[in-house]
Amino acid sequence: MHLLVTDHEGLEHTLEALEGWRVMEVIRDWGLSIKAECGGACACATCHVYVDNAWVDRLAPPSDDEIEKLDEAFFVESNSRLACQILMAADTDGLRVKLAPGTE
């Protein structure tokens, strides 16, 4: 399965991903620049990504904790999510996200 990620320079990368991995972990493990300071505990908002509009409604909605934490992020848009809170699964194969400013 794959994840498509646009980096801070605007380049899109196709990353191989494994089921059950968090989107943040896939991005980090492939060496793209993502702070993810809390390691996926939904406590830092430095894994902020913009989800491609075609995918927004296909993802499980954010938890209250994620919504609360996103409030602390910068440049939040309606398609903002925390990459550590999205799991790779059959229904997220091919997901397309863009790294938000301030996460590098």
* Chain residues that interact with ligand FES, rule: CB under 6 A: 24, 36-38, 40-47, 69, 82, 84
The whole-angstrom separation of Cα 93 and Cα 76 is: 24
Amino acid 63 reads S
Whichever of 41 and 54 has its CB closer to ligand FES, that residue is 41
17 versus 45: smaller Cβ distance to ligand FES? 45
Q: Please return the burial class of 46, using the count of CB atoms within 10 Å of its CB with bins 0-12, 13-18 and 19+.
A: buried
Name which of 82 and 100 has its Cβ closer to ligand FES: 82
User: Least distance to ligand FES from the beta carbon of 25, Å?
Assistant: 9
User: What's the min distance (Å) between Cβ of 73 and ligand FES?
Assistant: 9
What's the min distance (Å) between Cβ of 27 and ligand FES? 10
Give yes or no for a contact between 62 and 78, defined as CB atoms under 8 angstroms apart. no
Q: How far apart are CA 76 and CA 96, in angstroms?
A: 17
